[in-house]
Structure 1
Amino acid sequence: MTVHHPTAPEAAHEVPAHEVPAHEAPAHEVPAPVRMYEMLYSSLVSQLILAVAELGVADAIGDEVRHVDDIAERTGTHPASLYRGLRALASVGVFTEVEPETFGLTPLAATLRSDVPGSMRDLARYVGLPERQQSFGALAHTLRTGRPAFDHVHGSDFWTYIAAHPERGDLFNRAMASMSVMVNSSVLDIYDLSDARRLVDVGGGHGQLLGALLQRYPQLTGVVYDLPRVVPEARTVLADLGVAERAECVGGDFLLSVPEGADTYVLSWTLHDWDDEDAVTILRNIRRALGDSGRLIVIDEVLPEGDTPHFGKFEDIVMLSLLTGQVRTEAQFAALFEKAGFRHVETLPTRSPTSLVVAVPV
């Protein structure tokens, strides 16, 4: 957002905003009130993205360049209002106004299409759920009490609510599958599993990670382990990937047990959902199933210390608001491993916000 706050006393003698937009000026030259004003309104970028994802605007544009009237007709929206939304998003690189009132997709906008590899539309639609948005609006409750805002607003914990609302649960699982595709592409190239023979993906969701690993390593067999209501989707995904004959889909509860008989166990984008007590329980169940040899691979965000920027520091606020989990530092992972009978071996950063953390039994 380009703005020059008219009431900011520090800004009284600055160059007019239309000549030097605040977001383009060096940080030390932008008055603090102006930067705060922009930060307060920055959530509108996210809200607009959520809105156009829900409306299917990227699908309506597709590979073409379309006038806003055409896009509005295809999406059932108000042309003038849609134009103002697309104009705002185009100013931050989501969509592009190639001619007056005529828009095309940018690489960012293309991720909101439903029909592209790595589509983020389901993730955007999940992020935009009113239940989530209402919880973030009650973050002050969480900061006061240390308890999830979701429970406070909805009278139920997140997992119970999802189980009671299957359509929400289905969207959640599709959103996590979208995240899995993004994460998978960044981790497959940095760690060699050519010596693995059998792998269990604990909390493996719809099976995208296991499927990608089985495609890459023909010697490998594997198990997707998740809740009984989730694994039927995994069977379909693995069959579509052509690896179903080397895969099993097992339903269960990883807080109680995990399948035995593998030399490699993976927890991808899962451990941050749980508090330390439950995380240690999950890890101990894996340790029991693994025996005294093999390895555990945790794919998750690993927070840097201090003021270093990292997306995970805001993902941690999602955990704080919706669940009882947290995004952890390397030292916190190592402490969990030690309590569960593992030893931390290494942490490998990836191109995504996640890292690959390796531990072995002790």
Structure 2
Amino acid sequence: MTAPQQPGGPRQPGTHAPGTPGLGTHVPGTRLPGSELPGDVPAPVRMYEMLYSSLVSQLLVAVAELGVADAIGDEVRHIDEIAERTETDPGALYRGLRALASVGVFTEVEPRTFGLTPLAATLRSDVPGSMRDLARYVGMPERQRSFGSLAHSLRTGKPSFDEVHGTDWWTYFAAHPELAAVFNSAMSSMSVMVNSGVLDVYDLSDVRRLVDVGAGRGRLVGALLQRYPLMTAVAYDLPRVVPEAEAVLAELGVSDRAECVGGDFLTSVPEGGDTYVVSWTIHDWDDGDAVAMLRNIRRAMGHSGQLIVIDEVIPEGDTPHFGKFEDIVMLSLLTGHLRTESEFVDLFDKAGFRLKEIRPTRSSTSVIVAVPA
């Protein structure tokens, strides 16, 4: 199997690709959202901006919850009409949209009249690649309270979520299905975004049977089966997720080539695949559990085949990368962590794999390929 050549070629183990401006990266020397001060800025002023930059996220969460982008739609609308459609206060809503317009989300085309920008359009619920469900998940009070106690995680190395809520993340969600539904919808949105990058940078036309370990609702399996008509696949996740995956794959018209299987990947994974995929999952788990999962895949794979891990690879040193902040989410909510290239090499070595290559995508996520050692 070969992967299509990207500019500069695939990144081999031991080399590092620079961060690419775009989703999840910050270009050195640029200002944080909301900054309008020109020239050299004193450190206290810069710190002031950074402390208040969280307001951008909070406003995005609020307008997503209220459905503001849906209310505006393809038209340009006066704030009074937008407020009527969203049952909000016109003056307060204007102040919120004015602030977001200053950072490229929404645009004030005439006084108190707004339209959508490409960024704002991602908050619509009726567009491909919608980020509205993700914004609602980011704003969940249970999640936000954990970040308010982040000092606990820094002191102890343990999730602040457990400290705040008295139980771990997965147990809490199992007891609150309405929140689990928001989380699952958000992860489905993330899957669509990540999948598009993966499909563009790695050729899987030689794969005959793919096993997606931790498949969730099966969006990646569905996208791959649509692209590769000779491929068959297994979507493997917890039994409670199987009905949702079956519905998604039926909706996408590929259920005749897909099998949805329930189980626990920390115990075993289905055999018979020539390619195993772990997408946006391995960073949820500490090294012990991650190695257990990978060893189960190695046993199921036999002596040939390949493992594809879709995840962020943290660069060393001061290099900006969104994954360094995603790692703080893991620190606060779960026991897992984002990993550097050397940490992936160590993880694979313990599980009986060797790293073959790392291929960046348009997002902060990479396609990490390993083969039996």
- The residue aligned with 1:298 is 309
- The residue aligned with 2:213 is 202
1:22–1:30 contact (8 Å) kept in structure 2: no
- The residue aligned with 1:6 is none
- The residue aligned with 2:170 is 159
> 2:37 & 2:266 partners in 1: Cα distance?
49
> 1:23 & 1:71 partners in 2: Cα distance?
27
> 1:23 & 1:93 partners in 2: Cα distance?
13
- 1:192 alignment partner, SS class: coil
Alignment of 1:203-352 (within 5 A): 203-352=214-363
Select 1:172's aligned residue among 173, 179, 183: 183
- 1:283 alignment partner, SS class: helix
Select 2:370's aligned residue among 347, 359, 362: 359
1:303–1:313 contact (8 Å) kept in structure 2: yes
> 2:245 & 2:84 partners in 1: Cα distance?
36
Q: Which residue identity lines up with residue 205 of structure 1 in the other structure?
A: G
1:22 is displaced (CA, Å) by 5.7
> 2:268 & 2:114 partners in 1: Cα distance?
52
- The residue aligned with 2:10 is none
Q: Which residue identity lines up with residue 348 of structure 2 in the other structure?
A: F
> 2:113 & 2:62 partners in 1: Cα distance?
19
Alignment pair present for 1:103 and 2:109:
no
> 1:272 & 1:213 partners in 2: Cα distance?
22
- The residue aligned with 1:5 is none
1:237 is displaced (CA, Å) by 1.1
1:22–1:34 contact (8 Å) kept in structure 2: no
Q: Which residue identity lines up with residue 258 of structure 2 in the other structure?
A: A
- The residue aligned with 1:134 is 145
Q: Which residue identity lines up with residue 291 of structure 2 in the other structure?
A: V
Q: Which residue identity lines up with residue 334 of structure 1 in the other structure?
A: V
1:25 is displaced (CA, Å) by 2.5
Select 1:25's aligned residue among 38, 42, 48: 38
> 1:86 & 1:231 partners in 2: Cα distance?
40
> 2:37 & 2:292 partners in 1: Cα distance?
48
> 1:230 & 1:91 partners in 2: Cα distance?
41
- The residue aligned with 1:11 is none
> 1:25 & 1:69 partners in 2: Cα distance?
34
Structure 1 stretches of 4+ with a deviation exceeding 2 A read 21-26
Change (3 A) 1:257 1:30: same
> 2:111 & 2:216 partners in 1: Cα distance?
44
- 2:240 alignment partner, SS class: coil
Deviation string for 1:84-127 (max 9, x for gaps)? 00000000000011111111100000000000000000000001
- 2:201 alignment partner, SS class: coil
- The residue aligned with 2:199 is 188
> 1:86 & 1:23 partners in 2: Cα distance?
17
- 1:229 alignment partner, SS class: helix
- The residue aligned with 1:63 is 74
> 1:193 & 1:22 partners in 2: Cα distance?
43
Deviation string for 1:146-165 (max 9, x for gaps)? 11000000001001001111
5+ long unaligned stretches in structure 1 = 1-20
Q: Which residue identity lines up with residue 82 of structure 2 in the other structure?
A: I
Alignment pair present for 1:48 and 2:59:
yes
- The residue aligned with 1:143 is 154
> 1:346 & 1:303 partners in 2: Cα distance?
15
> 1:128 & 1:310 partners in 2: Cα distance?
22
> 1:57 & 1:192 partners in 2: Cα distance?
39
- 1:189 alignment partner, SS class: helix
Change (3 A) 1:119 1:225: same
1:241 is displaced (CA, Å) by 1.2
1:24 is displaced (CA, Å) by 5.0
> 2:35 & 2:126 partners in 1: Cα distance?
37
5+ long unaligned stretches in structure 2 = 1-33
- CA root-mean-square deviation: 1.0
> 1:233 & 1:170 partners in 2: Cα distance?
11
Q: Which has the larger radius of gyration?
A: 1
1:191 is displaced (CA, Å) by 1.0
Q: Which has the higher contact order (CA 8 A, sep 6+)?
A: 2
1:277 is displaced (CA, Å) by 0.4
1:228 is displaced (CA, Å) by 1.2
1:192 is displaced (CA, Å) by 1.2
**TM-score, normalised via structure 2 length:** 0.90
Change (3 A) 1:293 1:93: same
Q: Which residue identity lines up with residue 362 of structure 2 in the other structure?
A: R
1:76 is displaced (CA, Å) by 1.1
